[in-house]
Structure 1
Amino acid sequence: MAALKEKRTCGQRCEDFGRFVWNSDNGTLFGRTPEKWVYISLYYVAFYVVMTGLFCLAIWTLMYTLDPYTPDYQDRLPSPGVMVWPDKYDEEHIVITYNSSDKVSVSKMSSCLHNFLGQYNDTLQKDCDHNCTKGKYFMQHNFLPGTHTKESCSFSVSQLGNCSGLHDPTFGYNCDMPCVIIKMNRIINYLPSKNNTQDIQVNCTVLEGEENVKKIEYFPENALMDRSYFPYYGKLAQPNYLNPLVAVRISLTGKRSAKFQCRVVADKITYENIHDPYEGKVVFTLQNLHVPSSPSSVHHHSSTL
């Protein structure tokens, strides 16, 4: 039977560890002589210098081949998305509700539109008109010298007429003629139509509650998104670019509630993608929560006075 290994004391273990750290007999530090530590340190320094150099070279090569003005790969839909303001995108379905008799509700809606349209101020847009020809795509193949940017066509808020907030700061939310703003999202180098003859137009239809809609008006005239705002060349190339807008003023009646679908109509814009409800169109419900007093209650109230 083999003899049992003698159990080492704590002092002996500490002594062994100390000898491992520094062995005076062999002149080793942690099992290696100082000369070997120098060699291995130089090896790892050289190794990480080479690895760092290769990594930096790879990053430099990648950045050198990338165009900061045009992404090499765009994982986007073939048609742009469409949005509506006042925005209510915290819900699965867009429901724009307001109360025309409630000042707080009216102020909330009008403030949302004023904030959104602030960047379209006529004064701010004065410097953006550059060689824009209405009705034609604004193709720019070269950058401006010095700034290395491209020109942008202005879109002033006054083009939205009665829905600009200039004449009616409440945008019609104090009555039954509210305004909504339709905007198409940006896609770099995208042309909505294949030629220079087809209009890019917003068209709104009533999906539910048609009997509650008296009239639909568009601003600018004919609900056009002029072709001169396309193509968009990117934020770096066009820092002053603003999307063209179309305002829709809806006259509500009856129950003052209806569901709408607003499409941007052009031959290259699709809207039937069931997986993306905002591609080429936006669907929303507009509802006035104000309940007018009935004639009988008004008569009763006046008689009690």
Structure 2
Amino acid sequence: MADAGSGSGGGGAYMKREADRDNTFKTFVWNSQTNQFMGRTGASWFKIGVFYIIFYMFLAGFFAVMMTVFYQTLDTNFLPKYTPGGGGSLLRNPAMGFRPLPRQENVESTLIWYKNGDNADIKHWVESLNKFIGPYEGTSEVTSGQHVTDCHEDKLPQENEVCRFEDKWLKGKCQKAESWGFNRESPCIILKLNKMIRWEPDVYTSHDELPSNMPQSLQNIIKDYNSTEGKIPKMIWVSCEGENPADQEYIGPITYYPWQGFPAYYFPYMNTPGYLSPIVAVQFERPMSNVLINIECRAWAKNIVHDRQNRLGLVHFELLKD
């Protein structure tokens, strides 16, 4: 009997606690004695509501003012505030890139390694170059509303014009139809300068200005222009060599298309729609097989600095043909 009474008393106490809890919550939501809703009177809710309305209006206004000030600093032509030609920029030296790039699993590598005569193995390199050259096909059309025009030293592009560069200017085995020479033991590598807005090359105008560390073969080409035509083409010149004496022995003859450099009239780059960077296709005609060849290509102008450690004004890659 005592146990039954105890159990009944315990159940009643539990139900009483639950009822008190319900009453407490209901009182918190609405207290009819003090006319408070969730612990605040109507006047208190009004005051805090007005405070937060004014607070968030101030934040919204401050954000709008800051965005207005920020947009005043932007160029409507999508040009950065600091550029090489506009001052204030530390980026004053263009970098040079090469194609084709190694496979995705070796993305940090600079090794171009393929098996001669193995179409499956060279497929990656050929398709990579085909994809890269795609935008250069059919550039006689009007691109993005901007006129693509033919340029030369006496006919520079006008405002909102871009100079044409066509894939058909590439000759030799450096063509899509020739599989870029990879199936002929004469692989082609494409070089390009990275885009730098407002950067203009300070070109060599006399053979007396040529630096002493410029390869003698390139100096001879520039001097021939100077003697036969009376002037040197306004060009960012390009040279590719083996980095070491052994590499220079194994690299073999080299041919450049369509020029041994980038014509100066393609610069400066101004983010004009339809602009395509000029390219140089380098054909290695007879590189030694089964030998790793270290190659360095340099761009030459008076305002291009060469720095191997920081890869300024040059590009390095290795070529291995099995």
> Is 1:284 paired with 2:317?
yes
- The whole-number CA distance in structure 2 between the counterparts of 1:135 and 1:83 is 29
CA RMSD of aligned residues (A): 2.6
> Using CA pairs below 8 Å that are at least 6 residues apart, which structure has the higher relative contact order?
1
| Native 8 Å contact 2:139 2:165 kept in 1 | no
**CA–CA distance in 2 between the matches of 1:100 and 1:255?**
9
Amino acid at match of 1:216: I
Correspondence 1:258-297 to 2 at 5 A: 258-272=293-307, 274=309, 276-277=310-311, 279-289=312-322
Shift of 1:161: 1.4
Match of 1:161 in 2: 171
SS in 2 for 1:161: coil
Aligned runs of 1:16-95 on 2, under 5 Å? 16-69=24-77, 70-73=79-82, 77-88=91-102, 90-95=106-111
**What SS does the corresponding residue of 2:295 show, helix, strand or coil?**
strand
TM-score (norm 2): 0.73
Match of 1:200 among 236, 240, 246: 236
TM-score normalised to structure 1 length: 0.77
Unaligned runs of 5+ in 2: 1-15, 84-88, 206-231
Q: 1:130 aligns with which of 133, 142, 149?
A: 149
SS in structure 1 of the partner of residue 179 of structure 2: coil
Match of 2:262 in 1: 225
Contact 1:110 / 1:173 at 8 angstroms: preserved in 2? yes
Read off the aligned partner of 2:46 and give its amino acid letter: V
CA distance in 2, matches of 1:253, 1:40: 81
Q: What's the counterpart of residue 128 of structure 2? A: 112
Show the counterpart of 2:4. Answer: none
> Contact between 1:212 and 1:256, CA under 8 Å: does it hold in 2?
no
Q: Deviations over 1:156-185 (max 9, x none)?
A: 11222124415x421111122111100110
| Other-structure match for 2:225 | none
Cα offset, 1:37, TM superposition: 1.2
Shift of 1:9: 4.5
> Matched residues in 2 for 1:96 and 1:62: separation?
45
Q: CA deviation at 1:73?
A: 4.0
Equivalences for residues 231-270 of structure 1 within 5 A: 231-234=268-271, 238-257=272-291, 258-270=293-305
1:187 aligns with 2:196: yes
Contact 1:107-1:170 within 8 A present in 2 as well:
no
- Pairwise CA distance, 1:22: 1.9
* Distance in 2, Cα, partners of 1:163 & 1:243: 21
Change (3 A) 1:262 1:190: same
Contact 1:136 1:227 in 2 (8 A): no
Does the 8 Å contact 1:216/1:250 carry over to 2?
yes
- Preserved contact between residue 137 and residue 230 of structure 1 (Cα < 8 Å): no
Residues 203/135 of structure 1: CA separation in 2 closer, same or farther (3 Å cut): farther
Task: Tell me how far 1:57 sits from its aligned partner.
Answer: 2.3
Q: Structure 2: which amino acid aligns with 1:88?
A: P
Distance 1:203 1:136 in 2: 26
Q: Label 1:266 to 1:195 Cα distance change in 2 as closer, same or farther (>3 A).
A: closer
Distance 1:186 1:137, change over 3 A: farther
- Assess if the C-alpha contact under 8 Å between 2:126 and 2:182 holds in 1: yes
1:176–1:194 distance in 2 versus 1, CA, 3 Å: closer
Quickly say closer, same or farther: Cα 1:195–1:49, change in 2 above 3 A: farther
Which residue identity is paired with 1:153? Answer: C
Alignment CA distance shift 1:47-1:180 (3 Å)? same
SS at match of 1:106: helix
